[in-house]
């Protein structure tokens, strides 16, 4: 699966998703894009899931008809996130295009 991490997603999470292709928005030069533009670019580039820590995304973007699925981590702190990698992996594998799923941390 092709996954994009936005700028707030802890980079070490990538090491727990080795079976997937993971890029960070900063690696693509997209770190300054607003959410709507970032989602559009991710869709154009064939990403299937975007992992973000932006808890307001649910209220800012209409994902109806989107080809991208969104997983929202409810913390940016790696010490907390690292204890939830199994739940994050499950959310990534189960979320469907146009759906937003939050992972409590």
Q: Is residue 71 a contact partner of residue 49, using CB atoms and an 8 Å limit? A: yes
Mean pLDDT over the full length of the chain: 93
Q: For residues 92 and 101, what is the distance between their CA atoms, to the nearest angstrom? A: 9
Encode pLDDT of 14-38 as tens digits. Answer: 999 999 999 999 999 998 888 889 9
Any residues with CB less than 8 A from the CB of 2 and at least 6 apart, and which?
A: 20, 21, 23, 46, 47, 48, 49
Encode pLDDT of 45-94 as tens digits. Answer: 999 999 999 998 888 887 888 899 999 999 999 999 999 999 999 999 99
Nearest-CA neighbor of 55 among 76, 28, 86, 37?
A: 76
Q: CB count, 10 Å around CB of 8?
A: 14
Bridge partners, residue 5, by sequence: 24, 51
């Amino acid at each position: 699966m092709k996954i994009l991490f936005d700028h707030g997603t802890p980079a070490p999470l990538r090491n727990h998703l080795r079976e997937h292709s993971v890029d960070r928005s900063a690696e693509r030069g997209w770190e300054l894009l607003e959410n709507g533009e970032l989602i559009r670019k991710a869709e154009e580039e064939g990403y299937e899931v975007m992992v973000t820590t932006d808890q307001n995304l649910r209220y800012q973007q209409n994902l109806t008809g989107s080809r991208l699925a969104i997983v929202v981590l409810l913390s940016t702190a790696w010490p907390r996130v690292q204890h939830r990698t199994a739940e994050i992996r499950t959310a990534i594998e189960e979320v469907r295009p146009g759906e937003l799923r939050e992972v409590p941390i």
